[in-house]
Amino acid sequence: MKLALFDLDNTLLAGDSDFEWAQFLISKGVLDREVHEAKNHEFYEHYKSGTLDIHAFLDFQLKPLSHHSRTQLDSWHQEFMATRIHPIITDKARILVQRHQREADKVAIITATNRFVTAPIAREFGVEHLIATEVEEIDGQYTGRGAGIPCFKEHKITRLDMWLSDQGLLWEDVTESWFYSDSLNDLPLLQRVTHPFAVDPDSTLEAHAKLNTWPIISLRG
């Protein structure tokens, strides 16, 4: 089986959907700018440096979901898609995904960002399979907590193996694999696949890619 995997933020997107969602809520007045904006930037810098405490971040990022109805959240997300996400989807990203959809047996987006934020984005790309950090729900209402293992760093491999198992497959069934990512946080999964690609990479990933002669590409513009 041929498997193509894509990171989402700063890879398929020319920006970070997690960061942009918080900024969107701040711009709507849903979150207090003074309290949340500095914290959002702080978490984002920790992510980029590879020092993010994923559980602390999820507590910050998911809590607002518990304060509003699904109807309201879905309405905001439609506006978020139109104003924040569509402008950072490039033609190059769409074309790359479509090429793999023609050539691979399975294509999936695998992201640390939670499913509420990312599921509509995956649909926009026409990607059926999404492996994301899950959000706890009770009776259709978000609790503001994560569920299960966050899809982050080495646990992207854990979540990938769980997803393959749900498909009735093992990693050993994958004969050829691609993974596209921008981030040093994704080195564990990049080192696992047969075709790792560094996409508009951070400095750490760029250096690693050059050392290991991995292709370095850009999906911007």
Q: Which residues are catalytic?
A: 7, 9
DSSP 169: -
Contact, 16 vs 76, CB < 8 A?
no
Burial class (CB in 10 A: 0-12, 13-18, 19+), 215: exposed
Do β-strands 195-199 and 176-181 pair in parallel, antiparallel, or remain unpaired? parallel
In terms of DSSP bridges, do strands 2-6 and 106-114 run parallel, antiparallel, or are they unpaired? parallel
191 φ/ψ angles, rounded to the nearest 5 degrees: -75, -15
Residue closest to 65 by CA, chosen among 132, 116, 8, 129: 116
